[in-house]
A and B are shown apart, each in its own frame.
Chain A
């Protein structure tokens, strides 16, 4: 190591000599490495953007929640026949909250399609009646100046509504409409909040942006004969999801007299699974893109190795001389590896710089299109920098190592023979 450092000055000078010697070839190789680096940086950065967008968007419907619909029994149980439909009541929600410690949030969801009007303008929208905990669980965030439904809204059966961003836009031509009123079924509702726009990768009954959300109690007072559409619950922690689900079957099975092992009695959508899967897919895409980039870089590495082989050839005599003066294999090899690493580093810096310029430029372009928003913005991060540096380092080391090994195998007597 000490001799390597001491020789660095000589190596630099050698490199200089090689550069003037093979100017064109080295320039092309550095560009090839730069191109490879650019591909890696761009692909990984796009992958990262996509992964992050996946991550956020799969959580658009809420993190780790489960949706439960009433089903129908498929087995006879406790003297009752199979094929019996289940229906949820308000007490079910209370029972789940009270009796299942693995669950820390429950909300009812009643729903119907109705005309929602502002003046002459009517939009046919999904109107849902929910509990106050629904907003946090379902990731419905109010825009500044507004709020989601609260407990008092429910207790007092207030005529208040939270609008999806698109619905607000369609009705009012604006999203800044807190305090304004809308008509639903000849009743006047005050807008207390408008939801922040979000992209949802998973959903049931349409995206949240087009829905009007009102207190479940208000809903029931307006449509007394409606049955509950579904329940939403959230386990205390993701690990407890399976236990929570088992408890749910046990508690509701006891109440409605169905076999807790009768899967179809309830329809449960456990979003944890999807989120896990999409996270893995995101990671998979990321790795796949990285691999493609690495292969591109590998081609550049071949160029470097090629040059280094030629350089070893050209310097055969000099290598023999160094050996005669007492250079060991390591001392013969080091300069070639260092030289290859320098070429790789130059290309790497070039590629990274260009990549960062492109990424920054893309970041400055505003995205309005939904599909583009879904793709996310290319994001350069420290791990990407580290991965790129690691790949570059390996490519450079390999590109130097094999030619260097050939150099170390040179027979000094033979290389010095021709005077």
Chain B
């Protein structure tokens, strides 16, 4: 099994004024290709902190992180941006779409930063919107879409540059249960098609669908269960 993600003794300390918060306390994690990992744990346990580090939005205070064979520690901001663009597709709880841009333009963004030509951008973004069944909503602005549709645009955006890993933090948190289910089954399809996924969720029902469940508590992994294949 290829190791895509390799965390070794990762610690994250936030210092806010006098107070120091130890969000992650020596965490080891390996994720292989085409795994579907659900990360669960109580609020404040460090799940989002972990996702930020996995997604190279933040760097560990100590410990090492190797992503797709490359050590991430000590890279400059522009190089990290490149890695995010190349390897990571983010899906957020609150969608984070640009409100003034159309669905198509939103999906084009990662390709824009990658320097892909306008024509190819359009084609790939359109194909991706088709893939999430929004082919008929390309010219719509986010305000003209439902929550479920917005999240599907966000997923199309996350996938458009063919990321090594899809990272999702509570993607169903702002959705009604029907829309949430649609998103979850989309994830299952993607996984079946070979996509590596790391998903953070509160919902144990959703977590059960993943091929592996990692439980985090107080900044440490307390349980790591693989579903029988």
B-binding residues in A (CB < 8 A): 2-3, 6-7, 10, 13-14, 16-17, 317-318, 321-329, 331, 411-413, 416-417, 419
Contact: B82 with A328, CB < 8 Å? yes
Known: A6-B112, A327-B113. 19 other contacts (CB 8 A): A2-B115, A7-B112, A10-B98, A13-B100, A321-B96, A321-B98, A324-B55, A324-B57, A325-B109, A326-B85, A326-B110, A328-B81, A328-B113, A329-B78, A412-B57, A413-B52, A413-B58, A416-B92, A419-B93
Query: B77-126: which residues lie under 8 A (CB-CB) from chain A?
Result: 77-78, 81-82, 84-86, 88, 90, 92-94, 96, 98, 100-101, 105, 109-110, 112-115, 118, 121
Chain B residues with CB under 8 A of A412 = 57-58
| Shortest CB distance A369–B (Å) | 57
Q: Which residues of A contact B112 (CB under 8 A)?
A: 3, 6-7
Contact present for A325 and B84 (CB under 8 Å): yes
**Beta-carbon contact of A324 and B90 below 8 Å:** yes
Is B92's CB under 8 angstroms from A326's CB? no
Q: Is the CB of A331 within 8 A of B113?
A: yes
Cβ contact within 8 Å between B100 and A326: no
With a CB–CB cut-off of 8 A, which chain A residues contact B64? none
* Residue B157 is within 8 A (CB to CB) of chain A in the complex: yes
For A5, give the chain B residue with the smallest CB separation: B118
Contact assessment for B90 and A329 in the assembled complex, using a CB-CB cutoff below 8 Å? no
B48 at the interface (CB under 8 A from A): yes
A326 and B105 within 8 A (CB): no
Residue from A322, A325, A331, A411 with most neighbouring chain B CB atoms (10 Å)? A325
- CB neighbours (8 Å) of A318 from chain B are 98
Kindly report which residue of chain B lies nearest to residue A7, judged by CB atoms. Answer: B112
Q: In the complex, are the beta carbons of B96 and A326 less than 8 A apart?
A: no
Decide yes or no: A417 and B48 within 8 Å by CB, A324-B57, A327-B81 being known contacts: yes
What are 18 pairs between A and B in contact, CB < 8 Å? A10-B98, A10-B105, A14-B100, A321-B96, A323-B57, A324-B88, A325-B85, A325-B110, A328-B113, A329-B78, A331-B113, A411-B58, A413-B52, A413-B58, A416-B57, A417-B48, A419-B94, A419-B170
Residues of A within 8 A of B96 (CB): 317, 321, 324, 416
CA distance A17 to B101 in the complex (A): 11
A17 to B99, CA, bound (A): 10
Give the chain B neighbours of A328 by CB distance below 8 A. 77-78, 81-82, 113
Bound together, the chains give a CA A323 to CA B79 distance in angstroms of 11
> Which of B84, B114, B115, B118 meets A324, CB within 8 Å?
B84
How distant is A227 from chain B, measured CB to nearest CB, in Å? Answer: 86
Most chain B C-beta atoms within 10 Å of own C-beta, residue among A324, A326, A331, A417: A326
User: Smallest distance from the beta carbon of A416 to chain B beta carbons, Å?
Assistant: 7
Residue of B nearest to A18 (CB): B100
CA distance A321 to B93 in the complex (A): 13
Cβ contact within 8 Å between A6 and B57: no
* Residues in A neighbouring B114, C-beta threshold 8 A: 326
Q: Nearest Cβ in chain B — how far from A274, in angstroms?
A: 59
C-alpha gap A411/B48 in the complex (Å) = 15
Contacts of B110 in A (CB 8 A): 325-326
With A3-B112, A10-B105, A324-B55 in contact, is A329–B77 under 8 Å at CB? yes
User: B57, B105, B113, B121: which contacts A413 (Cβ < 8 A)?
Assistant: B57
Determine the residue in chain B with the shortest Cβ distance to A331: B113
The answer to whether A326 touches B113 (Cβ under 8 A) is yes
A323 to B82, alpha carbons, bound, how many Å?
Answer: 10
In the assembled complex, the CB of B151 is this many whole angstroms from the nearest CB of chain A, namely 13
Shortest beta-carbon distance from B7 to chain A in Å:
16
Which chain A residues lie closer than 8 Å to B105 at the CB level? 10
A326 and B163 alpha carbons, distance in the complex (Å): 11
Q: 0/1 per residue, B140-182, Cβ < 8 Å to A?
A: 0000000000000000010001000000001001000000000
A146 to B119, CA, bound (A): 74
A10 and B101 contacting across the interface, CB-CB below 8 Å? yes
Min CB distance B92 to A, Å, is 7
Q: A328 CA to B90 CA in the complex, in Å?
A: 16
Which A residues lie within 8 Å of B161 (CB)?
326
Give the distance to chain B from A2, nearest Cβ to Cβ, in Å: 6
Asked if A17 and B57 make an inter-chain contact with CB atoms under 8 angstroms apart, the answer reads no
Residues A325 and B98 in contact, CB atoms below 8 Å apart: no
CB distance from A408 to the nearest CB of B (A): 8
Specify which chain A residues have a CB less than 8 angstroms from the CB of B121 in the assembled complex: 6
In whole Å, how far is B180's beta carbon from the nearest beta carbon of chain A? Answer: 16
- Give B39 Cβ to nearest chain A Cβ, in Å: 16
- Which residues of B have CB within 8 Å of A14? 100
In the complex formed, the residue of A with least CB distance to B84 is A326
Q: Nearest 4 A-B pairs (CB), nearest first?
A: A326-B85, A413-B58, A413-B57, A413-B52
Residues on B with beta carbons closer than 8 Å to the beta carbon of A325: 84-85, 90, 109-110, 113, 157
- Quote the shortest CB–CB distance from A310 to chain B (angstroms): 17
Residues of A within 8 A of B84 (CB): 323-326
Q: In the complex, what residues of B have CB within 8 A of residue A411's CB?
A: 58
Please give, as numbers and ranges, the residues of chain A lying within 8 Å of B85 by CB-CB distance: 325-326
Chain A residues with CB under 8 Å of B118's CB are: 6
Chain B, Cβ-Cβ closest to A17: B100
* B101 / chain A contacts, CB cutoff of 8 Å: 10, 13
> How far in angstroms is the closest Cβ of chain B from A322?
7
Residue of B nearest to A332 (CB): B81
By a CB distance below 8 angstroms, the chain A residues around B82 are 326, 328
Residue of B nearest to A408 (CB): B77
Given the complex, which residues of A lie within 8 Å of B94, measured CB to CB? Answer: 419
